[in-house]
Amino acid sequence: MNIDLELYRVFYVVAKNKHMIKASEELHISQPAISQSIKKLEEQLGGTLFLRSNKGMGLTEEGKMFYEYVKGALELINNAENEFTSFKNLTKGEIKIGCSTTLTKLILVDVLKEFHKDYPNININITNNLTSNLINDLKLGKLDFVIFNESNIKETNLYLEKIKELKQGFIYNPEFFNDEINSIDELNKSTLILQKEESNSRKLLDYIALQNNTKLIPKMEVVSQELIIEFVNIGLGVGFAIIDLANKNHKNLKELKINKKIPNINVYLGTNKFISLTFASKMFIKYLKTI
């Protein structure tokens, strides 16, 4: 049975007020229009809902039963509409972000601060992991979007958008080392600290070295750039990291002269083409693009 929802609304208001005039005032429609709606609903149901009298509109026994169900259904619909409005007005909602620890500190922290100030009731969940794992979670719908550095990711069901460039290169602490390295192949003469091979940063560095007919052999491999920067700062060696992050953590660290040969790193925003973003995620991305 296909009955117009508006007919149920008219029935509910009339049954609640038990009077045609009051129902007309609440619905802002004429009494004849209400009568026609009630008649149409009764015809479609195949039974009588109201007992009409000079005292008003009383419900039949079947009408009383029908009213309880319609009342419950319309309350659920009203609650759903209010809930939807809360999400739309950003007084409620959730954002699921995938990002490396490094990019979280460099990019997300400032955006999170501004966004939370404007929309304090939005729950924000951040997953830190390898880009490959985050991309997989994005494809599965576990994340709304992923922020990651440059790589050779080719996924037809993802939309990738460049949002920022970051300077990267080799850093050292002048308290422990001198800049005597003039080419990439000379880096192997130093105590080299790099990220593990599966990281995007390391893959890009290995590609750059290969273009210069060199294979870099690190003396130490770690998971994060944060650790590289800390180890360089205490004099354990020369490290490859994002310069912006190194300067943010330790003002005393310097760049090797060969950094002029190292290209900037691109940061991308990845979203799933087949999953609609929430109102909160769409707004957060607007904030993200202002950095």
pLDDT digit string, tens, across residues 4-21: 889 999 999 999 999 888
Residue 152: predicted pLDDT = 64
- Same domain? For 82 and 98 the reply is no
Q: Which domain holds residue 125?
A: 94-163+267-288
What are the backbone dihedrals phi and psi of residue 189, each rounded to the nearest 5 degrees, phi first?
-80, -15
**Number of structural domains found in the chain:** 3
Last residue of a domain, one of 62, 88, 114: 88
Last residue of a domain, one of 88, 120, 146: 88
Residue 143: predicted pLDDT = 96
Best CA proximity match to 57, nearest among 13, 4, 26, 25 = 13
d(CA 221, CA 191): 11
CA end-to-end span of the chain: 54
- Same domain? For 240 and 180 the reply is yes
Question: Are the C-beta atoms of residues 8 and 41 closer than 8 Å to each other?
Answer: yes
Residue 1: predicted pLDDT = 61
What are the backbone dihedrals phi and psi of residue 208, each rounded to the nearest 5 degrees, phi first?
-60, -45
- Same domain? For 135 and 278 the reply is yes
d(CA 190, CA 184): 11
What are the backbone dihedrals phi and psi of residue 70, each rounded to the nearest 5 degrees, phi first?
-65, -40
State the amino acid at position 251 in one-letter form: K
- Same domain? For 201 and 274 the reply is no
Q: What is the CATH number of the domain that holds 63?
A: 1.10.10.10
Q: What is the CATH number of the domain that holds 245?
A: 3.40.190.10
- Same domain? For 139 and 256 the reply is no
- Same domain? For 68 and 209 the reply is no
Residue 264: predicted pLDDT = 87
pLDDT tens by residue, 183-199:
888 899 889 999 998 88
- Same domain? For 75 and 217 the reply is no
Residue 183: predicted pLDDT = 85
- Same domain? For 146 and 227 the reply is no
pTM of the model: 0.74
- Same domain? For 197 and 281 the reply is no
Residuewise pLDDT in 10s, the chain (291 residues): 677 889 999 999 999 999 888 999 999 999 999 999 999 999 999 999 999 887 788 999 999 999 999 999 999 999 999 999 999 999 999 999 999 888 898 899 999 999 999 999 999 999 998 888 999 999 999 999 999 886 667 778 899 999 999 999 999 999 999 898 888 888 998 899 999 988 878 888 898 889 889 999 999 999 888 899 999 999 999 999 999 899 988 999 999 988 877 888 889 999 999 999 999 999 999 999 887
Last residue of a domain, one of 41, 73, 88: 88
Residue 73: predicted pLDDT = 94
